[in-house]
Structure 1
């Protein structure tokens, strides 16, 4: 596998998601792993934390970086974050996979390129 510093980082906010889906950590973990694989990423491990009385945080560690979700079932809201390095992965595919499953009524996406320095751009630690 060829690793680079360049990659894509996708952030998504989903509103209007069914509360029971956002509390189902077991299913969310499975769907996230499936989404990461569909995005072309290699799943290394997965950590899950279930909160009382509700809510779940899941972090999927990828060979190419990470995929996370934080849920707020009482608000029908979740925040997702997927960053992958290299040209063979597509973090937006992982996010879209979950959008298709969770069926939010409102979605906001932001995508930024990571690891690229524009010509003349100041990079921390350089003069």
Structure 2
């Protein structure tokens, strides 16, 4: 993959969702991850999510041919942490708009790491 002129193995987005809604809704989260896969042009292999009984939080991953999207949510704090790591001819940044639409957060913070520079 080449991002901003840098050859790398893949782009890894670190996404923090603050003030989000529906972060305890397993069905909604699964649909959101699948929508992220669709808009980014990635290939879904498997989704595995776990719903915690104590706080209603969700942890899980969408395993992709091009890597993964993971989520860990703390609905009692209206917060979720997501990792979006993709290689190949994908657009991981397209996932951010999907997350904004799905969780209607007050704020989203995004950082990007280019993994495997020069490979």
Q: How big is the shift at 1:69?
A: 0.8
Point out the structure with max Rg over C-alpha.
1
1:24 maps onto 2:25 in alignment: yes
Q: Give the corresponding residue for 2:74.
A: 72
Contact 2:46 2:64 in 1 (8 A): yes
Secondary structure (helix, strand or coil) at the match of 1:22 reads coil
Give the structure with the higher percent strand.
2
Match of 1:57 among 59, 62, 67: 59
Equivalent residues in 2 for 1:40-119 (5 A)? 40-53=41-54, 54-86=56-88, 88-117=89-118
- The alignment of Structure 1 onto Structure 2 pairs a total of residues equal to 112
RMSD: 1.7
Report the Cα distance in structure 2 between the residues aligned to 1:96 and 1:67, rounded to whole angstroms.
15
Q: How big is the shift at 1:5?
A: 6.2
Q: TM-score scaled to structure 1, two decimals?
A: 0.82
Any gaps of 5 or more consecutive residues in structure 2?
1-6
